[in-house]
Amino acid sequence: MQWIVIGAAGMLGQDVVARLEGEGRSVEALDRADLDITDTGACDRLLRGADVVVNCAAWTAVDLAEEREAEAFAVNATGAANLARSASSVGARLVQISTDYVFDGSARTPYAADAPQNPATAYGRTKAAGEWAVAALGSRHLIMRTAYLYGAGGVCFPRTIVKLAAERGGLDVVDDQHGQPTWTVDVADLVLRAVDAEVPGGVYHATSQGSASWFEFAAEAVAAAGMDRGLVRPTTSEAFVRPAPRPAYSVLDHGSLRAVGVEPIGAWQERWSKAAGSVLAATRH
């Protein structure tokens, strides 16, 4: 089986490639310099021979997307559509990585995979449009939403918090936004497990179980670095007004995974405990 990973140089893409290579699977790693996913012809050429395509490429500059939505749409929606169409044409399965931002964050209980979308940001609108396109262009394609990602291969929240806490002697972190801190290694593992299990096409949630506020996650990050939890202080979103509003509640339900016999990622605290050493290693150098 031939795998192609798009966005292979990103934090998640690196771990997907590493997992595939670690299992001795045939994988081609493509990044922006190798493939412009907004180019239909290029997608057709480079996806020939693929059996599974994992699209980790995305415009993720959430605030900048408010000013440049057309550019974000080109990558997150048009690019996803191109990959879905090209994959379908050669009988390949696309795994489209998506986001909690397709929801507005107003819920009080975890969002089911089939919950109505209502994105409140330009970024969320473009990712939702990408989901619609992928679903329309291939019934076997998988849409895997994730959130609050951290990993060893890129800029991520816990490393940034530890760095800033050390530099500033403390910092304020919002305590009124809740989600599911999720390790990229675990998302990579879930992608492989879902594909290997030949789950039906549809939407699945690739996040850890449980939930935490950004403040709660920050406190765990500084503690894992051997620092005083008191270096992080709780505050509200009103103190950090940004161009794009962040979801107040973006906890995702895992029922669609369980329904097809696939175990979700474990509890976020347990997974963070396992991940912390490797994820924070770069902070200490």
pLDDT digits (tens, 9 = 90+) for 18-44: 999 999 999 999 999 999 999 999 999
What gap in Å lies between CA 258 and CA 240, rounded to an integer? 37
pLDDT digits (tens, 9 = 90+) for 212-223: 999 999 999 999
Angle 107-109-111 (CA atoms, 0-180°, nearest 5)? 75
Confidence at residue 1, expressed as pLDDT on a 0 to 100 scale: 96
What is the pTM assigned to this prediction? Answer: 0.97
* Residue 123 among the catalytic residues: yes
Strands 232-235 and 171-174, sheet pairing: parallel
- Of 90, 193, 79, nearest to 142 by C-alpha is 193
Helix H or strand E segment including 132: helix 122-137
Structure tokens at 50: 């693929």
Percent of the chain with pLDDT over 90: 97
pLDDT digits (tens, 9 = 90+) for 85-97: 999 999 999 999 9
**Average pLDDT, integer, range 203-207:** 99
3-state secondary structure of 5: strand
**Residue 204, strand partner residues:** 144
3-state secondary structure of 276: helix
pLDDT tier, 282 (very low <50, low <70, confident <90, very high otherwise): low
**Residue 261, strand partner residues:** none
Contact 252, 193 (CB under 8 A): no
Confidence at residue 285, expressed as pLDDT on a 0 to 100 scale: 39
Q: Which domains does the chain have, with CATH numbers?
A: 2-150+182-209+250-266 (3.40.50.720)
Confidence at residue 240, expressed as pLDDT on a 0 to 100 scale: 87
Q: Does residue 82 have a pLDDT over 70?
A: yes
Confidence at residue 260, expressed as pLDDT on a 0 to 100 scale: 99
Confidence at residue 122, expressed as pLDDT on a 0 to 100 scale: 98
Q: Does residue 72 have a pLDDT over 70?
A: yes
Confidence at residue 102, expressed as pLDDT on a 0 to 100 scale: 99
pLDDT digits (tens, 9 = 90+) for 91-127: 999 999 999 999 999 999 999 999 999 999 999 999 9
- In the set 123, 150, 204, 249, the catalytic residue is 123
Q: Does residue 284 have a pLDDT over 50?
A: no
